[in-house]
């Protein structure tokens, strides 16, 4: 395999507070290849959004990267100066947020915002940029883009706004899009539309996507590989199909079982007892051990390394070689 | 049973104290030196004003104890100054330091009383307006709009005139305090009413209020038990900042002659007295009360600003 | 589950006044504008069953919930619970009694608990308000019982809501709802603010409590997979109208109304069967100015002239109550 587009090694994100130093992302490592869709799932507080924000350099203070390395297209980017990072952002790495309204300026017409973005990134005059903007709107599935381009954001519905945001993001023709819960604020039917737009763009343009969501259904549909996060760590990462059909880590198993299924008999849902630990109270050893049904000796004291099981990497002592003997 | 309840109460109190010390607000307080200084100055002021009769060397309100011969003595370090009057005297022979202590007492009393009255009126009207909505809401809010068009000086003049016309036998010294309180609270309640109303509009849609409605509680009870405690945060901020404003307004009104009469000078009155002598070289009569006024207003304002930021979750 | 009908809703209408202020209307020559959130809705809920209302945002499902528990007055129509008309002003005493038998669980567990109250005070409030216990000791005991019932420790009552996670708060809300021994609980998206693993805990808890106390649920949700798991019967709402009512099994196996089919097709496929998810065409129209005839016709693949003109009436087909001309005419 060629050089990955994005490579993250032992990323640590910390929040100094007055009581303690909270570690929200704890030694996370993964790679995204060109044109690949990596789904990152986890419950609220698992650190998935912070990982995304750290990559694109939008961590809100006092949060900071306290360790690890981030490489984008072979270049190390976690220590870039603000000016260089700003150059990279939008042009090569772009971000889609949950609420489309945060990315659109309510005072400007959609077209003006699009044209401005296009002109920042590409050498085009106003007329060419406008033509390009219409093409982009058409591409993300906005009907009658020639007239809609002169509308204000509030004249668009939630789903249409998210499409406009995607068009804005595409304007810079980025290589990597970090999408943080892009469909969570939308209705199921609109969700499906947005997912199919993202899916199509990804395959047509070869754009890689890091899709952060808590919605397993969305991941199942679009992601090639997925990573499951729990209290700041990746507990399992592998091919989406493998993880959904044959989860290895007890947490992934519990997570999959707790989703009400759409086929077969209605059974009692599998439930994981308790809830995710707060950041100031992360258990020793494997942070999942107080909730785990398969907990045994090593789990209490030491965190498991990533262990290759089939196609997936699992951070669980159950799969340790020494144990199998 | 009663033992158990008592035990519980004690526990609750220690908890309360521990929680206050441990809270984010207290933490942000200890982090800002400026705010700590401002709070210290404010409390020192309250202390001095409260114990003025003990601390002051002279009772400036007791006209009998004043000696006209001491009039216009400059501060002690100047030519002709006397160690008896540290920062000089006014034209009546009042020791300025004692006068400032007693004057602050009046200023603070007017400030606190009028802020309290304004808050009481404003919170009640705001609660009613926000919770019930409809016609009552429109009525109260329009009255508030009209209220805002009258400056407090006009209201004070109006009330002052009305009182002296209706009760000619009442002495000005006795009525002045309440005229000021009434005038200031009448011009300040609008802010409370509007803030409380908008908070209530948010809170009453929250689900815990709906849950309270579901168990059939009467609106009055819901307002008092559920809504009111949750809208008091912003009210506290306004009250603090208003205290500074009320002190200034009192000084302004007294300076203009509508307020506290010369026989019991408040800070504003002292500044007015001194103004007559400013150009003949007796600067201290105006400057010292002015500085005192500025320091107290600045301190209270700083505390208020900090409180606003500390209570605002968006800025935290 | 018995065949006794506990909740009967007939021809329910609810309008919201969305007009501009009087002065603006006079100057701009505009009429009053109304939003019809619920339009001629009738449902029956049997004792002990879970009836679910599903629909996208703006379909009016939460408005129905609020009217059923009495937080909103219906504009027209009647709601009967246990054969007692909720609008009957002559039966104040019975209605007060009835109040204690209807409770609600809300969507946002962070907004539904008074942040300044201890949990024990929150949970015991209904006990005191309905005079269920008068002795102080009995109230404390009952509060402890309720907390244990929802999987919390009685000692958790001393804590404040902010000390709990979202799932635990929702448990507290359930304990409060159970405090007055209700028969009927309206659940307005009770798990949509929670994470999946916590959602599973809450859904399991709700089913256990239903079995234990013979509770009847009206379950409001936009999530079809949750509804499939919880409900006995399902009503699908679109723009304030009920388009299909059916048993859960037959709705998922054999959806009749084109909108129901669209919704089912739009669910993400977790089975990884490779089935392509069909995005729904178009979006929900503006409810202030809904389309004529069948309100779904602009998005419906089966629409014809009649659908644009005529409001369809509901009819029964293999046990599904469907409101659609196309299905009635056999065009589907």
pLDDT at C278: 63
Whole-prediction pTM: 0.82
Is residue A11 one of the residues assigned to a domain? no
Which residues does chain C have within 8 Å of residue A191's beta carbon, measured at their own beta carbons?
A: 266, 268
Q: CA of A222, closest CA in chain C: separation in Å?
A: 10
Distance separating alpha carbons of residues A189 and C222, to the nearest angstrom: 11
Flag whether residue C57 sits within 8 Å of chain A, measured between CB atoms. Answer: yes
Same domain, A215 and A108: yes
Contact A137, A167 (CB under 8 A): yes
Instruction: Kindly state the greatest CA–CA separation across chain A.
Output: 70
A273 to chain C: closest CA residue:
C201
Where does the pLDDT of residue A325 fall: very low under 50, low under 70, confident under 90, or very high at 90 and above?
A: very low
Nearest to A231 by CA among A277, A180, A271, A275: A277
Q: Flag if C225 and A261 touch (Cβ within 8 Å).
A: yes
153-192 in C: which are within 8 Å (CB) of B?
A: 173, 176, 180
Residues in chain C with pLDDT values less than 50: none
Same domain, A109 and A143: yes
Q: CA of B150, closest CA in chain C: separation in Å?
A: 25
Is A1 a residue whose pLDDT tops 80?
no
Which residues does chain C have within 8 Å of residue B206's beta carbon, measured at their own beta carbons?
A: 111-112
C216-221 and C184-188 strand pairing: parallel
Contact C251, C263 (CB under 8 A): no
Q: CA of C99, closest CA in chain B: separation in Å?
A: 7
Contact A130, A148 (CB under 8 A): no
Nearest to C125 by CA among C167, C95, C149, C157: C157
Kindly report the CATH number assigned to the domain that includes residue B243.
1.10.3720.10
Where does the pLDDT of residue A83 fall: very low under 50, low under 70, confident under 90, or very high at 90 and above?
A: confident
pLDDT at B62: 77
The 3 state secondary structure assigned to A71-132 is EECCEECCCCCHHHHHHHECCCEEEECCCHHHCCCCCCCHHHHHHHHHHHHCCCCHHHHHHH
Same domain, A120 and A37: yes
Same domain, A151 and A249: no
Q: Flag if C103 and B207 touch (Cβ within 8 Å).
A: no
Is residue B5 one of the residues assigned to a domain? no
Collapsing DSSP states into helix, strand and coil, what is residue A69?
A: strand
pLDDT at C53: 94
Q: CA of C323, closest CA in chain B: separation in Å?
A: 33
B2 to chain C: closest CA residue:
C136
Question: Between A and C, how many CB-CB pairs are < 8 A?
Answer: 121
Identify which of B208, B212, B214 has the shortest CB distance to residue C103.
B214
pLDDT at C186: 95
Flag whether residue C204 sits within 8 Å of chain A, measured between CB atoms. Answer: yes
Residues in chain B with pLDDT values less than 50: 1-14, 314-316
Same domain, A188 and A44: yes
Is residue B2 one of the residues assigned to a domain? no
Q: Flag if B207 and C111 touch (Cβ within 8 Å).
A: yes
Is residue A268 one of the residues assigned to a domain? no
Flag whether residue A106 sits within 8 Å of chain C, measured between CB atoms. Answer: no
Contact C141, C181 (CB under 8 A): no
Is residue B13 one of the residues assigned to a domain? no
Is residue A292 one of the residues assigned to a domain? yes
CA atoms within 13 A on the CB side of C33: 14
The number of folded domains in chain B is 1
Which residues does chain A have within 8 Å of residue C200's beta carbon, measured at their own beta carbons?
A: 257-260, 269-272
C181 to chain B: closest CA residue:
B215
Contact C207, C231 (CB under 8 A): no
The number of folded domains in chain A is 2
Same domain, A165 and A184: yes
Is residue B283 one of the residues assigned to a domain? yes
Flag whether residue C234 sits within 8 Å of chain A, measured between CB atoms. Answer: no
Is residue B95 one of the residues assigned to a domain? yes
Backbone angles phi, psi at A252, to 5 degrees: -60, -40
pLDDT at B18: 66
Q: Flag if C70 and B214 touch (Cβ within 8 Å).
A: yes
Is residue A47 one of the residues assigned to a domain? yes
Nearest to A22 by CA among A288, A286, A232: A232
pLDDT at B7: 37
Is residue A212 one of the residues assigned to a domain? yes
Distance separating alpha carbons of residues C168 and C35, to the nearest angstrom: 37
Q: CA of A283, closest CA in chain C: separation in Å?
A: 17
Which residues does chain C have within 8 Å of residue A190's beta carbon, measured at their own beta carbons?
A: 280, 283
A92-128 residue pLDDT tens? 898 888 877 778 888 888 889 889 888 888 888 889 9
Flag whether residue A244 sits within 8 Å of chain C, measured between CB atoms. Answer: yes
Which residues does chain C have within 8 Å of residue A268's beta carbon, measured at their own beta carbons?
A: 204, 207
Q: Flag if C196 and A220 touch (Cβ within 8 Å).
A: no
Kindly report the CATH number assigned to the domain that includes residue A184.
3.40.50.300
Flag whether residue C15 sits within 8 Å of chain A, measured between CB atoms. Answer: no
Flag whether residue C102 sits within 8 Å of chain B, measured between CB atoms. Answer: yes
- List the domain range (segments joined by +) for residue B103: 25-61+87-315
Vertex A59 angle, CA A53 and A63, to 5°: 130
Contact B115, B126 (CB under 8 A): no
Which residues does chain B have within 8 Å of residue C69's beta carbon, measured at their own beta carbons?
A: 214
Backbone angles phi, psi at A318, to 5 degrees: -60, -30
Chain B residues in contact with chain C using a Cβ-Cβ cutoff of 8 Å: 1, 5, 206-208, 210-217, 226, 229-230
Distance separating alpha carbons of residues A36 and C326, to the nearest angstrom: 43
Distance separating alpha carbons of residues A264 and A62, to the nearest angstrom: 48
Tell me the CA distances in angstroms from C172 to A241, B240, C100, C165, C176, one per residue in order: 37, 36, 18, 11, 6
- CA-derived radius of gyration, chain C: 22
Same domain, A129 and A245: no
Alpha-helix runs per DSSP H in C244-316: 248-253, 258-265, 305-309
Report which secondary-structure segment, H or E, holds A127.
helix A126-139
Is residue A308 one of the residues assigned to a domain? yes
B231 to chain C: closest CA residue:
C116
135-194 in C: which are within 8 Å (CB) of A?
A: 165-168
Distance separating alpha carbons of residues A142 and A165, to the nearest angstrom: 12
Flag whether residue A43 sits within 8 Å of chain C, measured between CB atoms. Answer: yes
A140-169 residue pLDDT tens? 888 888 888 888 888 887 778 888 888 888
- List the domain range (segments joined by +) for residue A287: 234-260+283-325
Which single residue is written with the structure tokens 């409770």? C103
Backbone angles phi, psi at A62, to 5 degrees: -85, 10
Which of A176, A204, A223 corresponds to the end of one domain? A223
Same domain, A238 and A210: no
Q: CA of B208, closest CA in chain C: separation in Å?
A: 4
* CA A167, A168, A171, A176 torsion-angle sign: negative
Contact A8, A31 (CB under 8 A): yes
C50-54 and C216-221 strand pairing: parallel
Same domain, A127 and A210: yes
Same domain, A202 and A297: no
Nearest to C227 by CA among C249, C211, C243, C197: C249
Distance separating alpha carbons of residues B266 and B278, to the nearest angstrom: 18
Is residue A13 one of the residues assigned to a domain? no
Same domain, A180 and A41: yes
Best C61, C268, C273, C296 member to test A by mutation, with max A CBs in 10 Å, is C268
Q: Across A3-7, A183-187, C216-220, which has the greatest mean pLDDT?
A: C216-220
DSSP-derived letter for residue A306 is P
Q: Flag if B207 and C137 touch (Cβ within 8 Å).
A: no
Which residues does chain B have within 8 Å of residue C104's beta carbon, measured at their own beta carbons?
A: 210-211, 214
pLDDT at B313: 55
Taking residues A253-274, report their average pLDDT.
Answer: 82
**Mean per-residue pLDDT over chain C, rounded:** 87
Flag whether residue A50 sits within 8 Å of chain C, measured between CB atoms. Answer: no
Spatial strand order in the sheet of C76-81: C34-46, C5-17, C76-81, C84-85
Q: Which two tokens stand for residue B273?
A: 């007295």
Is residue A216 one of the residues assigned to a domain? yes
Is A41 a residue whose pLDDT tops 60?
yes
In this predicted complex, what is the ipTM? 0.82
Which residues does chain B have within 8 Å of residue C125's beta carbon, measured at their own beta carbons?
A: 212, 215
Same domain, A170 and A293: no
pLDDT at B10: 37
Alpha-helix runs per DSSP H in A48-106: 48-56, 82-88
Q: Flag if B208 and C99 touch (Cβ within 8 Å).
A: no
DSSP-derived letter for residue B279 is G
Nearest to A202 by CA among A216, A187, A221: A221
All residues at 6 or more sequence positions from C211 whose CB lies less than 8 Å from its CB, including other chains: none
Flag whether residue A285 sits within 8 Å of chain C, measured between CB atoms. Answer: no
Distance separating alpha carbons of residues C197 and A43, to the nearest angstrom: 8
CA atoms within 13 A on the CB side of B156: 27
Contact A303, A231 (CB under 8 A): no
Identify which of A195, A271, A276 has the shortest CB distance to residue C204.
A271
C216-221 and C233-238 strand pairing: unpaired
pLDDT at B13: 43
Flag whether residue A215 sits within 8 Å of chain C, measured between CB atoms. Answer: yes
pLDDT at C202: 92
Q: Flag if C125 and B212 touch (Cβ within 8 Å).
A: yes
């Amino acid at each position: 395999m060629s050089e990955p587009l994005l490579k993250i090694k032992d990323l640590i994100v910390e929040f100094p507070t007055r009581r303690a130093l909270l570690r929200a992302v704890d030694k996370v490592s993964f790679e995204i290849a060109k044109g690949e869709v990596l789904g990152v799932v986890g419950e609220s507080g698992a650190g998935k959004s912070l990982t995304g924000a750290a990559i694109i350099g939008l961590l809100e203070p006092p949060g900071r990267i306290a360790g690890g390395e981030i490489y984008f297209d072979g270049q190390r980017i976690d220590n870039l100066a603000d000016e260089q990072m700003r150059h990279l952002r939008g042009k090569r790495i772009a971000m889609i947020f949950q609420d489309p309204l945060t990315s659109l300026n309510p005072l400007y017409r959609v077209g003006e915002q699009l044209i401005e973005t296009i002109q920042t990134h590409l050498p085009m005059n106003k007329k060419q940029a406008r033509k390009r903007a219409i093409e982009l709107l058409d591409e993300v599935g906005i009907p009658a883009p020639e007239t809609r381009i002169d509308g204000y954001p509030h004249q668009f519905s939630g789903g249409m706004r998210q499409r406009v945001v995607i068009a804005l993001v595409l304007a810079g023709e980025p290589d990597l899009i970090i999408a943080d819960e892009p469909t969570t604020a939308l209705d199921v039917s609109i969700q499906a539309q947005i997912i199919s737009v993202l899916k199509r763009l990804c395959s047509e343009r070869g754009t890689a996507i890091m899709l952060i969501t808590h919605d397993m259904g969305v991941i199942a549909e679009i992601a090639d590989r997925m990573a499951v996060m729990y209290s700041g760590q990746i507990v399992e990462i592998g091919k989406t199909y493998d993880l959904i059909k044959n989860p290895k880590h007890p947490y992934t198993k519990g997570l999959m079982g707790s989703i009400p299924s759409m086929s077969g008999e209605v059974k009692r849902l599998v439930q994981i007892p308790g809830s995710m630990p707060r950041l100031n109270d992360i258990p020793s050893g494997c942070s999942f051990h107080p909730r785990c049904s398969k907990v045994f000796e090593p789990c209490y004291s030491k965190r498991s390394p990533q262990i290759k099981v089939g196609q997936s990497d699992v951070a669980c002592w159950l799969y340790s070689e020494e144990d199998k003997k | 049973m009663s033992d158990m309840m008592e035990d519980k109460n004690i526990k609750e109190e220690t908890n309360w104290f521990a929680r206050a010390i441990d809270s984010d607000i207290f933490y942000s307080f200890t982090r800002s030196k400026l705010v700590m200084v401002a709070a210290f100055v404010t409390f020192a002021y309250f202390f001095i004003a409260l114990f003025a009769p003990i601390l002051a060397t002279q009772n400036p309100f007791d006209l009998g104890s004043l000696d006209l011969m001491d009039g216009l003595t400059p501060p002690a370090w100047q030519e002709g100054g006397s160690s008896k009057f540290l920062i000089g005297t006014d034209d009546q022979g009042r020791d300025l330091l004692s006068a400032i202590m007693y004057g602050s007492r009046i200023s603070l009393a007017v400030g606190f009383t009028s802020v309290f009255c304004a808050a009481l009126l404003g919170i009640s009207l705001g609660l009613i307006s926000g919770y019930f909505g409809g016609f009552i809401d429109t009525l109260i809010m329009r009255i508030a709009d009209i209220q805002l068009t009258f400056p407090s000086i006009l209201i004070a003049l109006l009330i002052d005139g009305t009182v002296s016309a209706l009760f000619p036998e009442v002495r000005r010294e006795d009525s002045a305090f309440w005229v000021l309180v009434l005038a200031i609270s009448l011009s300040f309640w609008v802010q409370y009413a509007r803030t409380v109303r908008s908070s209530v509009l948010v809170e009453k849609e929250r689900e815990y209020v709906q849950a309270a409605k579901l168990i059939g509680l009467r609106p009055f009870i819901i307002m008092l038990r559920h809504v009111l405690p949750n809208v008091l945060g912003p009210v506290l901020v306004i009250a603090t900042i208003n205290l500074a404003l009320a002190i200034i307004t009192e000084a302004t009104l007294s300076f203009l002659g509508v307020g506290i009469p010369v026989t019991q000078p408040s800070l504003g009155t002292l500044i007015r007295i001194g103004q007559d002598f400013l150009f003949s070289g007796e600067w201290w009569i105006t400057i010292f009360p002015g500085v005192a006024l500025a320091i107290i207003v600045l301190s209270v304002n700083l505390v208020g600003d900090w409180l606003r930021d500390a209570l605002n979750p968006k800025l935290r | 589950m018995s065949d006794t009908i506990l909740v009967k809703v007939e021809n329910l209408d609810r309008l919201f006044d969305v007009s501009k202020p009087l002065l603006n209307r006079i100057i701009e020559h505009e009429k009053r504008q109304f939003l019809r959130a619920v339009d001629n809705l009738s449902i029956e809920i049997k004792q002990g069953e879970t009836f679910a209302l599903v629909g996208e945002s703006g379909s009016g499902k939460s408005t129905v919930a609020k009217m059923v528990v009495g937080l909103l007055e219906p504009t027209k129509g009647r709601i009967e619970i246990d054969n007692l008309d909720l609008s009957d002003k002559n039966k104040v005493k019975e209605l007060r009694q009835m109040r204690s038998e209807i409770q609600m669980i809300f969507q946002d567990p962070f907004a539904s608990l008074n942040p300044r109250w201890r949990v024990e005070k929150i949970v015991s409030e209904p006990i005191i308000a309905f005079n269920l216990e008068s002795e102080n000791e009995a109230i404390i005991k009952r509060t402890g019982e309720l907390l244990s019932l929802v999987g919390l420790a009685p000692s958790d009552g001393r804590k404040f809501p902010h000390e709990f996670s979202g799932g635990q708060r929702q448990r507290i809300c359930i304990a409060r709802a159970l405090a007055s021994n209700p028969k009927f609980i309206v659940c307005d998206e009770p798990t949509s603010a929670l994470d999946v693993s916590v959602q599973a805990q809450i859904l399991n808890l709700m089913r256990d409590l239903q079995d234990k106390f013979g509770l009847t649920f009206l379950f409001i949700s936009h999530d079809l997979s949750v509804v499939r798991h919880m409900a006995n019967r399902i009503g699908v709402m679109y723009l304030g109208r009920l388009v299909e009512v059916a048993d859960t099994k037959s709705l998922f196996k054999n959806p009749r109304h084109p909108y129901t089919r669209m919704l089912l097709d739009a669910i993400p496929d977790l089975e990884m069967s490779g089935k392509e998810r069909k995005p729904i065409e178009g979006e929900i129209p503006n409810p202030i100015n809904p389309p004529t005839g069948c309100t779904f016709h602009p998005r419906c693949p089966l629409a014809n002239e009649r659908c644009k003109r005529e409001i369809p009436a509901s009819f029964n087909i293999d046990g599904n109550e469907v409101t659609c001309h196309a299905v009635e005419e056999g065009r589907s």
